[in-house]
Amino acid sequence: MTPSDDKGRGPSEDPSYDPKGRGFYGAVTVSERGQVVIPAQARRDLDITAGDKLLVLGDPKHGIALMKLESLLQSGLSPLDGQLQRGRGQSQEADDKE
C-alpha cells in the first residue's frame, strides 16, 4: 500500500514512511481489556474500516502484526487455512459476546 495524500492531518499524525511505502504510525496503549486503537492515518492508508476482519499474527522474537483477512484471501496463500478456519470461529464467538 502507498500512503494517502491526506492534507487534513496535523503534524502529530504525520507517519514516517520507508521507500516501500511502509509506515510507522506511532505507539498505542493496550487497555485493561486487551484493546488497542489503530491510528486514524493507518486506517486511512490501509483502507481499514469498521467491520473489517483482521488477522493477529505473532512471533516470539518480533511481536505481533495485523493483516486484513481480505488481503490474505486475495493473495491465494493457503498455509494458514486450518488456522483461519479456527480463527473465523473464534472471531464469530467474540462478535457474539459483544
pLDDT per residue over 23-70, tens digit each?
A: 889 999 999 999 999 999 999 999 999 999 999 999 999 899 998 888
Mean pLDDT to the nearest integer, 2-22: 61
Task: State the amino acid at position 25 in one-letter form.
Answer: Y
pLDDT value of position 59: 92
Q: What is the pTM of this model?
A: 0.60
pLDDT value of position 41: 93
pLDDT value of position 11: 41
Task: State the amino acid at position 63 in one-letter form.
Answer: G
H or E segment and range at residue 42: helix 40-45
Mean pLDDT (the chain) is 76
How far apart, in whole angstroms, are the C-alpha atoms of residue 67 and residue 26? 17
